């Protein structure tokens, strides 16, 4: 019976759709070792039985697994349950990566928009906000762009508890005196009357009277960056210092109009 011959690297490359360069790379990294190597020429030869293994390597590579991860997963090719769990984890990571990419694209669109329009001029004043009784929901959000999720949770709880709202401005306080990349500590609030009561997850509390530097601007929330820049310049040039967490007050917002150009927002920094 004739001996089964080995496949040259070019033949193996054609059958597996892995380039010869990548096959050499996988050999060098211990992922896919040739069945034989010619000591004199260095030419690599592969067994037909290795096509299945090489095909799995290509498939794992194409869905984003690193070389080290592929090496770890290859021994599991005959364990569909374990391999399936690893693939599910990778799927979740790809979904998270896609969402992060979507956010970056949206940020690029905002930057393009900002470079194509005239500078935003906020009206900046120093004033005293009187004490205000509010119903509040304090929670954690993934990013600042997720503030609407806190509002949805708050309004659902307010409606479920039948809490009557009073006239006045609603707002959101960002607790902590520094910017956070994630896990944003936010408290959203609505004004209520003196007899209002609330249960978890809501609280009734008194916002204190405080001196604030206020930047008022019109338009969408993509303007927070340049508005905060103007507010920072005003605070430092006026010799003021931060005296508490920043908060926003929404004079006209999504609950009032669908036209973002009509939004009116106050960015407020307690100062001394």
Per-residue pLDDT at 1: 42
Question: Which residue among 78, 99, 114 closes a domain?
Answer: 78
**pLDDT at residue 115 greater than cutoff 80:** no
User: pLDDT tens, 4-17?
Assistant: 789 999 999 999 98
Q: Kindly report, residue by residue over 5-51, the tens digit of the pLDDT.
A: 899 999 999 999 899 999 999 999 999 999 999 999 999 999 999 99
Residue 222's pLDDT is 82
Q: With respect to residue 57, please indicate whether it lies within any of the assigned structural domains.
A: yes
27: domain range?
7-78
Structural domains of the chain, count: 2
Residue 209 exposure: Cα atoms within 13 Å on the Cβ side: 2
pLDDT at residue 117, as a whole number: 55
CATH code for the domain in which residue 188 is found: 3.20.80.10
Q: What is the pLDDT of residue 121?
A: 73
- Domain membership of residue 147 (yes or no) is yes
Confidence of residue 242 (pLDDT cuts 50, 70, 90): very high
70 and 149 fall within a common domain: no
- Give the separation between CA 174 and CA 187, rounded to whole angstroms: 7
* 159 in the same domain as 72: no
Position with higher pLDDT, 180 vs 250: 250
105: in domain: no
Give the residue among 192, 134, 191, 171 at the shortest CA–CA distance from 253. 171
Which of 58, 78, 98 lies at the terminal end of a domain, its last residue? 78
The answer to whether position 103 is within a domain reads no
What is the pLDDT at residue 122?
87
Q: Which has the minimum average pLDDT: 111-115, 204-208, 243-247?
A: 111-115
Q: Are strands 170-174 and 210-218 parallel, antiparallel or unpaired?
A: unpaired
Q: Which of 41-50, 113-122, 205-214 has the lowest mean pLDDT?
A: 113-122
Residue 86, in any domain of the structure: no
Distance CA 90, CA 53 (A): 19
Do 164 and 63 lie in a common domain? no
- Residue 116 backbone phi and psi in degrees, to 5: -100, 5
Q: Give residue-wise pLDDT tens across range 61-103.
A: 999 999 999 999 999 888 999 999 999 999 999 999 999 999 8
Whether 240 and 213 have beta carbons less than 8 Å apart is answered as yes
**132 and 23 in a common domain:** no
194 and 263 assigned to the same domain: yes
Mark which of 21, 51, 78 sits at the end of a domain.
78
What pLDDT was estimated at residue 119? 54
Q: pLDDT digits over 134-151, tens only? A: 999 999 999 888 999 999
C-alpha span between 94 and 18 (Å, rounded): 23
**Quick check: is 90 in a domain?**
no
């Amino acid at each position: 019976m004739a001996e089964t011959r080995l496949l040259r690297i070019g033949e193996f490359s054609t059958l597996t759709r892995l380039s010869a360069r990548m096959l050499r790379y996988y050999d060098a990294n211990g992922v896919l070792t040739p069945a034989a190597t010619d000591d004199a020429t260095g030419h690599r030869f592969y067994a037909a039985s290795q096509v299945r293994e090489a095909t799995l390597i290509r498939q794992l590579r194409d869905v984003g697994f690193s070389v080290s991860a592929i090496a770890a997963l290859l021994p599991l090719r005959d364990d569909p349950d374990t391999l399936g769990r690893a693939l599910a984890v990778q799927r979740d990571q790809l979904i998270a990566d896609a969402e992060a990419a979507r956010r970056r694209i949206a940020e690029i669109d905002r930057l393009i928009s900002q470079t194509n329009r005239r500078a935003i001029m906020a009206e900046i004043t120093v004033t005293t906000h009187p004490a205000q009784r509010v119903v509040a929901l304090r929670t954690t959000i993934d990013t600042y762009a997720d503030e609407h999720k806190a509002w949805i949770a708050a309004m659902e709880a307010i409606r479920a508890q039948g809490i009557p709202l009073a006239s006045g401005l609603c707002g959101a306080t960002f607790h902590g005196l520094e910017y956070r990349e994630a896990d944003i500590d936010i408290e959203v609030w609505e004004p209520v009357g003196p007899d209002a009561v609330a249960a978890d997850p809501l609280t009734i509390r008194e916002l204190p009277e405080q001196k604030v530097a206020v930047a008022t601007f019109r338009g969408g929330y993509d303007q927070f960056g340049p508005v905060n820049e103007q507010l920072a310049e005003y605070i430092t040039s006026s010799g003021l210092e931060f005296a508490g967490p920043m908060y926003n007050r929404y004079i006209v917002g999504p609950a009032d109009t669908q036209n973002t150009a009509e939004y009116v927002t106050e960015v407020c920094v307690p100062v001394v």
